Amino acid sequence: MLKVNNLSASYGYVKALKEVSIKADQGQIVSIIGANGAGKTSLLRCISGLVKPTSGTIEFLGEQIPKKPNDIVKKGIIHVPEGRKTFSGLSIQDNLLVGGYLFSAKENEEELKKNYELFPILKQRKEQYAGTLSGGEQQMLAIARGLMSHPKLMLLDEPSLGLAPLIVNQVYELIAQIRDRGITVLLVEQNAKKALGLCDKAYVLENGEIILEGTGKELLCSESVKKAYLGG
């Protein structure tokens, strides 16, 4: 479904990604783990069009992805950015409607209903500013906002960042539900244990290069991953 081939990207002279190749199949959760600054977010930003790669290709459903981020969303790729990035001064409902920007009012109404069923807390507080939500609720809102665009592929950047363990579990249950709906998930995480426990396939990114790949279980058992990312 998603095929990234030999992708490189740089910021000025700093190389963020070096010849990265990954693949994700329909309905899978594929995770990318790695330390801070390994290039995880850069990879997602290349796929969603915010960063222009210096070389390499990105194919989605057998086609090259378009250049502009808004055209990429049209193809069915949604990027839920790191740090939630909800529009703090917009109401919760407006945040969701911005997520459904490319769709008609009628389609949005249906999708809103679905999302409010999934996230009752958002319905209760739909008129309030998004900035008044707690961190965990904002993460839910960010994901719900992403779902408003009817995605085929969801790029999730550090959904567990800064959240209490109990909330992290809720977020991960939600990710599993999203996969069960048939949406492919590309999950970027520092929380390697959580990500590897859920995903079908995983890549380890280090200094902009893929150094390991395998199923979640394989990597959970791998000695080098244990040492570097799971704390022994």
Partner 1 sequence: MAIQLLLNGLAVGSVYALIATGFALIFSILKFSNFSHGALMTLSAFVGYFVSAGTGWSLIPVLIVSMLVGGLIGLFGEFVAFRRITKRNSATFYYFVSSITLGTFYESIVTIIVGAGYFVYPMFFSKPAIWIGNFVIQTSSVVMLGISAIVLIILVFVLQKTKMGRALRAVSYDRDTAYLMGIDVFKTISIAFFISGALGALAGVFLGIYNYTLTAQLGNLVVKGFIASVIGGLGSISGAVFGAVLLGLLETILIFFIGSGYAPVATFLIMILFLFIRPQGIAGKSVQEKA
Work out how close the CB of 166 gets to partner 1 at its nearest, in angstroms, rounded to a whole number. 18
Work out how close the CB of 216 gets to partner 1 at its nearest, in angstroms, rounded to a whole number. 27
What is the sign of the dihedral through the CA atoms of 215, 218, 220 and 224? negative
Which 188-227 positions form the footprint of partner 1 (CB under 8 A)?
none
Q: Does residue 68 touch partner 1 according to CB under 8 A?
A: yes
Q: Does residue 79 touch partner 1 according to CB under 8 A?
A: yes
Contact 179, 156 (CB under 8 A): no
For the chain, give the longest Cα–Cα distance: 52
The CA-CA-CA angle for residues 29, 221, 40, to 5°, reads 45
Which 149-168 positions form the footprint of partner 1 (CB under 8 A)?
149, 162
Q: Does residue 66 touch partner 1 according to CB under 8 A?
A: no
Give the integer Cα–Cα distance in Å for 49 and 90: 24
Give the integer Cα–Cα distance in Å for 161 and 180: 23
With CB under 8 A as the contact rule, the residue among 88, 124, 215, 224 that binds partner 1 is: 88
- Strands (DSSP E) found in the chain: 2-11, 14-24, 29-33, 55-60, 63-64, 77-80, 153-157, 184-189, 201-206, 209-214
The contact mask relative to partner 1 for 106-145 (x = CB under 8 A, - = no) is -----------------------x-xxxxx--x------x
Which 28-57 positions form the footprint of partner 1 (CB under 8 A)?
48-50
- List of residues contacting partner 1 (CB under 8 A): 48-50, 68-70, 73-74, 78-79, 81, 83, 85, 87-90, 94, 97-99, 101-102, 105, 129, 131-135, 138, 145, 149, 162
